Chains A and B, each alone.
Chain A
Amino acid sequence: MRKAPARPNGVVLAFWLVGSLLLAFILAPLIGLATVQSPASLARVAAMPDVRVAIGLSLLAAFLTTAWAALLGVPLAYVLARTEFRGKEIVAAIVDLPLAVPHTVAGIALLIVFGRQGWIGGPAGEVLGLRFWGTLAGVVVGMLFVSAPYAVNAARIGFEAVDPRLEKVARTLGMGPWRVLAEITLPLAWRSIMTGLTLTYARAISEFAAVAILAYYPMTAPVKIYELFLQSGLDEASGMALLLLVVSLALFILFRHIARRGADFASVGR
């Protein structure tokens, strides 16, 4: 149902004015980045093999991160949305913790646990032969730590918006709890879940500090940009930066579009 546009009043006009300052603040650097580049230098950077590899690695690692976040985060979101238990607020706070931890701190902490002698890194290396220091797995661990909260929180909101009475009706019609989850709850929460995973993906691609500390090599795009900045200066670094920006923005818009394609059933179902 569409709302009729409200008659603009003083408060709304004033707030638009203030709000557009923020919009300009966000857009100006990105536009600036785009305008300083000559097509020639952009093409030169795009042709560099290690730049391509780094961007490809970033996309792959972010995809794996998103998959893990979905696999582990969506069930947790469901539990948080559908059940009441002692310490639920604490669990929710733990989920949000990575948002509050500086990412360099996260990187150090992850290195301690996932490093060669860490609680997890040690046994994983001995038993599974899985190493996190300087590997794709390490990149994913760094990305997952900082981006998982987005997946959990969005999915939780999505589940909470599904009227529990619909699930109850489905049960009385003869569906078991797993079938209700598959046919009623997940489809109705789908859009929120996908929105959360899109944010997770975006946040994973953009992570620098945690990844750089745990797995400087293989180089992801942000790390590679940093290296170019240190070695070759602003020109090449900004070329690659623009390239990464275009690729990740395009993917972000594409995913958002996919996530929104299904009609917003959850809200009309209330």
Chain B
Amino acid sequence: MTGAVFAIEGACLTLGRFSLRAIDLELDAGEIMVLLGPNGAGKSVCLEMIAGFHRPTSGRILIHGREVTSLPPERRRVGLVFQNFGLFPHFTVAGNVSLGLHARRRVGRAQATRGVGELLAQFGIAHLSDRYPQDLSPGEKQRVALARGLAAQPDLFLFDEPFSALDARTRDALRDELKTFLRQSGAPAIFVSHDQTDAALLADRVAVMNRGEILQIGAVPEVFRKPVNAFVAEFTGMENILAGRVLGQSGDLWRVQVADTVLYAQGDDLAGNDASLCIRAEEVGLSVTDREGSLGLHGATNRLAGTVTDTTSLGVISRVTVDCGFALVAYLTDRNVRELGLSSGREVVAEIEVGSIHLLRRDAKDCVALSQERQGAGAVLIPQPWRSAAKGRA
């Protein structure tokens, strides 16, 4: 028995050729977990297993310490929200909410009407009571879906990519609203997404999935900065994954050679191994002053000479590629790019703090996984928030 509000313990599931392997998750009250992964990673299957549509072949699922592993969905007290919010098109807004209200409980007619009224008022949609879902905006649909879900008094909310069909601006607004709602409701929530922005903005913790396995669970900064392998690094928008060779230790820092340059980084025991250096592009600084001044390790900062090969504005942020003997990507504000006068051919010094480099032991399996996942993963290279900003501007 665990103290968590919700727990999956070692759940395995096989569906045709697909299988979920040893899924372990725990959520505390009010916690929001984002299950992040590419299409086909098994996120939705995992969610449907939690909701009760697939029964795990082994392992168990607990809600408030109550084992629900073999209960049908209608007895699990789990709220589910799908893409487009899954409103029943043949019921009005009030009808949808009222279904949530008495589907599980025997509620008198007068009491039900009052309950529906209160819920609609709580979500600020009382004026929509007699409308049908097809006449609602996405924001209104989300509120109806949440009101309906809440009416059934769930112990856990599940969201399966509810925003994936929406434009970036609407998505941002609805995400904020959803977060506020979940914070107030106090019910834990699992939110499935393939969009790292959802994870960055919603999650207390994120779980990265691929091929039916959870690869890493942790707080967002931890997972985004210290991925456990190349796949997680790639999928969470790590722009710089550099192949390096560990030369040795000096003090508590590792000396790692990348192309012809030596970088200093912190890390665990890596002696004698090849390593991947993960550096988030927003952690790379560029300067154009005292170029010849102090290259190499300077305080806790690596300073590398390089030449700008490309600058691409993504709207408010620019993606600058620098050739330092290897390609290094940096994100700068457009204003920074202007002030530094960065353009192709410009010579710069790239600055990377020792602590911003995450060393990954590189084994063959990772390399294969990475090269396979890279195909078709191009969209991942530009992080979502900046892409949507670029869109908003255009």
Contacting residues, chain B, for A269 (C-beta < 8 A): 88-90, 133-134
A88 within 8 A of B: no
Number of B interface residues at 8 Å Cβ cutoff, please give it: 33
Contact across chains for B89 and A170 when beta carbons are under 8 A apart: no
A168 touching B80, Cβ below 8 Å: yes
With a 10 A CB-CB cut-off, give which of A166, A168, A184, A268 has the most chain B CB atoms: A168
Question: Which residues of B265-285 are within 8 A (CB) of A?
Answer: none
A163 at the interface (CB under 8 A from B): yes
The answer to whether A188 and B89 touch across the interface, beta carbons within 8 angstroms, is: yes
* In the complex, chain B residues whose CB is within 8 Å of the CB of A262: 90
Contact with A183, one of B48, B82, B99 (Cβ below 8 angstroms)? B99
Interface string of A169-181 (1 = CB under 8 A from B): 1111111100100
> A169, A176, A265: which contacts B80 (Cβ < 8 A)?
A169
Contact with A170, one of B81, B99, B134, B154 (Cβ below 8 angstroms) = B99
Q: Which of A139-170 contact B (CB under 8 A)?
A: 163, 165-166, 168-170
Measured between beta carbons, the chain A residues less than 8 angstroms from B78 are 172
Contact indicator A170/B90 (Cβ below 8 Å) = no
Cβ A166 vs Cβ B86 within 8 A: yes
Given A168-B48, A168-B53, A169-B80, A174 contacting B104 (CB threshold 8 A): yes
Residues in A whose Cβ lies below 8 Å from that of B83:
165
- CB <8 Å contact, B74 and A174: yes
Interface centre among B48, B80, B83, B84 (most CB of A within 10 A): B80
From B74, B81, B90, give the contact of A176 (CB < 8 A).
Answer: B74
B98 to chain A, nearest CB (A): 11
Query: For the complex, would chain B's binding face be called helix, strand, loop or mixed by DSSP majority?
Result: mixed
Q: Are B89 and A165 in contact, with the CB atoms below 8 A?
A: no
Across the interface, name the chain A residue whose C-beta is closest to B82: A165
Please give, as numbers and ranges, the residues of chain A lying within 8 Å of B90 by CB-CB distance.
187-188, 262, 265, 269
Interface-central residue, B48, B73, B79, by most chain A CB under 10 Å? B73
CB atoms of A173 and B89 under 8 A apart: no
Task: Count chain A residues whose beta carbon lies closer than 8 angstroms to a beta carbon of B.
Answer: 23
B119, chain A: closest CB distance, angstroms: 13
A173 to B154, CA, bound (A): 8
Judge whether B244 is part of the interface by a CB distance below 8 angstroms. Answer: no
List 15 extra interface pairs beyond A172-B80, A268-B89, A269-B90, CB under 8 A. Answer: A166-B86, A166-B88, A168-B82, A171-B53, A171-B74, A173-B99, A174-B75, A174-B104, A175-B103, A176-B72, A176-B74, A183-B99, A187-B90, A269-B133, A270-B84
Can you name 29 A-B residue pairings with CB atoms under 8 Å?
Answer: A165-B82, A168-B53, A168-B73, A168-B82, A168-B86, A169-B86, A169-B88, A170-B88, A170-B103, A171-B51, A171-B74, A172-B51, A172-B73, A172-B80, A175-B74, A175-B99, A176-B72, A176-B74, A184-B88, A188-B90, A265-B90, A266-B89, A268-B133, A268-B134, A269-B88, A269-B89, A269-B90, A269-B134, A270-B84
Chain B residues close to A by CB (< 8 Å): 48, 51-53, 72-76, 78-84, 86, 88-90, 99-100, 103-105, 133-134, 148-149, 151-152, 154, 158
